[in-house]
Structures are given as structure tokens and as C-alpha cells.
Amino acid sequence: MEPVIQEEISGCGIAASAALAGMSYAEAKRKANALGIYAADTALWSETAHVRKLLREFGISVSPKETPFESWERLPDRALMAIKWRMEQGKPFWHWVVFVREGGEAKVLDSKKALKSNVRRDFWRIKPKWYIEVSN
């Protein structure tokens, strides 16, 4: 699985969904917009419903619940993760990333454009709050 770079400052949910679906950001954005999902909508990174709807459109099944993060070793082989979790005016916000374990190697696909590498293995720096297991 390859990282997809977000083309909008608030497009991490669209980019994470695109990475899981194996498509470009532009293609995922077109499909998201057709469903009424836009990167500028703060619900995309303060609620899970939009990302769940987009993944369903892509035929990707995810757990109906968010599971509190305990350790990297306990994560499933594929998961959507909430990092940089914070409260702003009583509302939660986070940055979406994808965790994947392939061929015995664990990595985080981070869509942030400014990163030197969008494939992250600096797990000690990443502070996940919770994750959603990706089934297929």
C-alpha cells in the first residue's frame, strides 16, 4: 500500500481513504464531493461518519467502533488512526493516517504534504488516540 498526499490542507480523511482504496487523491476527492463530502467541512476531521461513508462507497469494510490505542503490536494489519487528537472549543479534532502491516513490516502512511517521507516508521513520535480496524 502506498501513501496518498493530501492536496488540500484539511484533506487527510480523503487521502487516507484513497490510500486504502488504491486510488489517487483527485479520484477520491471527486467521489467524496459527489457524496457531499468536502475537505473544508470540519466534520471530516472531527467525526468519523464522512470517512466511513466514503470507504463504504469504495467497497471497504471497517469496524463500526473506534478502539482506544494501546500499543503498536496490538493493532490489526490495517487501521485508520486518529493522531494529533485535540479539543477545540469543546469539539474533538484529529489528523487521519493509515497503519498497515505488510510482509512483516509495520508503517504509517501519513498524507501530510510537508513531510520528508510520507511512509513513517517513527512510531515513538506518533501519538494515536484511537483506531478503526479495516477489514478488507
Sheet (strand 130-133) strand order: 67-68, 130-133, 78-88, 91-102, 105-109, 119-120
Per-residue pLDDT for 62 more than 90? yes
- Of the given ranges (43-52, 100-109, 123-132), which has the lowest mean pLDDT? 43-52
pLDDT for the residue numbered 42:
76
pLDDT at 99: 98
* pLDDT recorded at residue 17: 97
> Does pLDDT of 129 surpass 80?
yes
- What's the average model confidence in pLDDT over 122-129? 96
Q: Which of 14-18, 39-43, 75-79, 91-95 has the lowest mean pLDDT?
A: 39-43
pTM of the model: 0.93
pLDDT band per the 50, 70, 90 thresholds, residue 131: very high
